[in-house]
Amino acid sequence: MSFDWEFALQILPDLLEAFVRITLLVTVVGSLTAAVLGLVWAIGLRSLPAWVGRPLSFVLDFIRMTPLPIQLLFVYYTFNNLSALSVGIIVIGVHYSTYMAESYRAGIESIRKGQWEAATALSLPPHRTWRAVILPQALRATLPSLGNWAIAMFKDTPFLIVIAVPELVTEAKEIGGRTFSYVEPFTLAGLIFLVASYPTAVLMRKLENRLAY
């Protein structure tokens, strides 16, 4: 089976449009959602009383340990007033927020006990302690890990095919179905993922080395 370069060049614009319009959008918005929610979960688990923190921890574990496609299908058919794209962004964002929460938690736990004691000795209010003392140090240790989770989210966007969101892989599958030629669209889709994710992975590695203590 030969690779048809002329056909590949013909379908490349459609694949790139699906990548930019859907895949990249879901990754960017989903990553921002996950980063914000993950921080909220991490601070909540540290600060809330046990009768609230334990149920929250159970919910986060449940989300983290159940497959993403099942979550997509459940939310899509439960909240049928939402568009498939909205469901995809929300579910992926919430799903990955549980992983990012663990990264934040590890960063927060890495802060030495003396930092907390110093903030208490200075009578800093909790919000000032978090904003001025804890988070600046925790985020430095956490940032590379968050970037890696964003890359993982990017590679999981093909799961949106289960709710018919026309992202990159879905577009490749539809092109293959119309033309009965699957090699070119799926090869190009894989190359687009590689070209988009590899430089980001390299940057994250450099950032990790730069921020290392």
Q: What is the CATH number of the domain that holds 15?
A: 1.10.3720.10
**Token digits for 145?**
């890990």
User: CA-CA distance, 159 to 72, in Å (whole number)?
Assistant: 8
Say what the pLDDT of residue 1 is: 59
| Most confident of the ranges 105-109, 198-202, 204-208 | 105-109
Above 60 in pLDDT, residue 123?
yes
Q: CB under 8 Å to 38, separation ≥6 — which residues?
A: 96, 97, 98, 99, 100, 101, 103, 104, 146
Category of 123 on φ-ψ map: left (φ > 0), alpha (ψ -120 to 50) or beta: left
Say what the pLDDT of residue 115 is: 79
Short-list 26, 23, 22, 27, CA closest to 150? 27
Say what the pLDDT of residue 211 is: 62
User: CA-CA distance, 75 to 80, in Å (whole number)?
Assistant: 8
- Structural domain count of the chain: 1
Q: Which amino acid is at 208?
A: E
Domain with 80 in it: 5-211
For the entire predicted model, the pTM comes to 0.88
More reliable by pLDDT, 73 or 206:
73
Confidence of residue 129 (pLDDT cuts 50, 70, 90): confident
User: CA-CA distance, 123 to 138, in Å (whole number)?
Assistant: 21
User: CA-CA distance, 101 to 99, in Å (whole number)?
Assistant: 5
